Structure 1
Amino acid sequence: MASIVYALSTLTCIACAYLLLRSFKKNGTRLLLWSGICFVGLALNNALATIDVNTPTELMDLATVRVVVSIVSLGILIYGLTWESI
């Protein structure tokens, strides 16, 4: 059940990233770009979570990689929000 939820979360993040980046291409608003890049990273994080849930801990533990990916993704969004507020 958990893998289905993670897979649906991945698909949702991919859809959000696609819509944000498509809007950026049309409008050129840079905040859409930063948000789209963040959602690409969050989709990667959810994909890694799906893989991590479905593999035994003895074979592979992706917890550290997932935390790094999510911190970098949210850092990009915070940077973009800060940059656009100036």
Structure 2
Amino acid sequence: MAEILPAIVYFLCFATSAACAWLLARNYRKTRAPLLLWSALCFVFLAANNFVVILDLLLIPSVDFRLTRLLLSLAAVSVLLFGFIWRHSEEEA
């Protein structure tokens, strides 16, 4: 039982991130609010990161995906930060 718990947690993290990305993208299509787009893209990268965690720790443990995971996390945070800065610069103009 202890061996399956990490797999369940990794999968739930992936599913939650993917669901958040989908819900944010769906709302963006309805409202066209730019912050929803940047948040959806952030969660897409987070879902990809969680998928790579599953690959790295469960499916292919012989290959080190640490750099890929870090780059996907950086991309997620960068996209959201860019969206915040873009939004702030639009409000000032």
Whether TM exceeds 0.5 here: the answer is yes
CA contact (8 A) 1:3 1:50 kept: yes
How many pairs were matched up? 84
Q: TM-score, normalised by structure 2?
A: 0.87
CA RMSD of aligned residues (A): 0.8
Q: Give the Cα–Cα distance (whole angstroms) in 2 for the partners of residues 7 and 50 of structure 1.
A: 7
CA contact (8 A) 1:2 1:53 kept: no
Higher relative contact order (CA 8 A, sep 6+): 1
Counting aligned pairs with the same residue, the percent is 38
SS of equivalent to 1:17: helix
Question: Is structure 2 residue 53 aligned with structure 1 residue 49?
Answer: yes
The runs of 5 or more residues in structure 2 that have no matched partner are none
Query: In the TM superposition, what whole-angstrom CA distance separates every residue of 1:17-65 from its partner, at most 9, and x where no partner exists?
Result: 0110000000000000000000000000000001111133xx2010110
Runs ≥4 residues deviating over 2 A: none
The runs of 5 or more residues in structure 1 that have no matched partner are none
Q: Give the Cα–Cα distance (whole angstroms) in 1 for the partners of residues 67 and 7 of structure 2.
A: 19
* Rg larger in structure: 2
